[in-house]
Chains A and B, each alone.
Chain A
Amino acid sequence: QQQVKQSPQSLIVQKGGISIINCAYENTAFDYFPWYQQFPGKGPALLIAIRPDVSEKKEGRFTISFNKSAKQFSLHIMDSQPGDSATYFCAARTAGNFNKFYFGSGTKLNVKP
């Protein structure tokens, strides 16, 4: 059973458009929600993260929106650029004494010039 469900599996956006990737979870014990960006042949890199006591966090063109009651969170990439083309993973951390993360299945983003 997948702890974090991510959609869509793939996304094509025109340059300058908005890319939106959604994730949903069930476990209310999750206490930290990061997004990772992965380029082909590389390991994922932390992009932006949010805690459940915040509804939105923005860093440059990247914004996380968090809906605690709906147990959903999403990544918005404003003014999408071809260099943003990558696979994006959402994740959720279980609270407690170990940094164990559950990952979504990934979204492959292609930003067309």
Chain B
Amino acid sequence: DGGITQSPKYLFRKEGQNVTLSCEQNLNHDAMYWYRQDPGQGLRLIYYSQIVNDFQKGDIAEGYSVSREKKESFPLTVTSAQKNPTAFYLCASTPGTGSASPSSYGYTFGSGTRLTVV
């Protein structure tokens, strides 16, 4: 079955440590996204990528970094510069970024990674 796989499901980070969250999709989608979810704040966009080897900052990119070396993969690194990293992180994808087809609208989300600072 096609979908998005995020790993690990739970992640614990020590102060000053960088951690990387994995996101893999087998949907052949061009665009991939990272969102952060905090209670009562909905989902906020961290980074997005429209094509391989290209990505742009979202609304809350500070303290995060990404790479897009393969179409299927869009890992997110939470760096030590992110002062409040405890949150639920969601990866998503869409078929295309400029298509007018309704089938390209809407995200497919992964099951998320819950990151906790210890």
Which residues of A pack against B, CB within 8 Å?
2, 4, 6, 9, 32, 34, 36, 41-46, 49, 89, 93, 97-101, 103-106
Contact = CB atoms under 8 A, between A and B. Distances in A.
B105 A89 contact: no
23 contacts: A6-B42, A32-B106, A34-B105, A41-B111, A41-B114, A42-B112, A43-B4, A43-B90, A43-B92, A43-B110, A43-B112, A44-B107, A46-B106, A49-B106, A97-B97, A97-B98, A98-B48, A98-B50, A98-B97, A99-B104, A100-B45, A100-B48, A106-B42
How many of chain B's residues touch chain A, expressed as a range? 20 to 34
**Chain B interface, DSSP helix/strand/loop, else mixed:** strand
B34 interface: no
Q: Which of B41, B45, B106, B110 has the most CB of A within 10 A?
A: B106
A106 B90 CA distance: 15
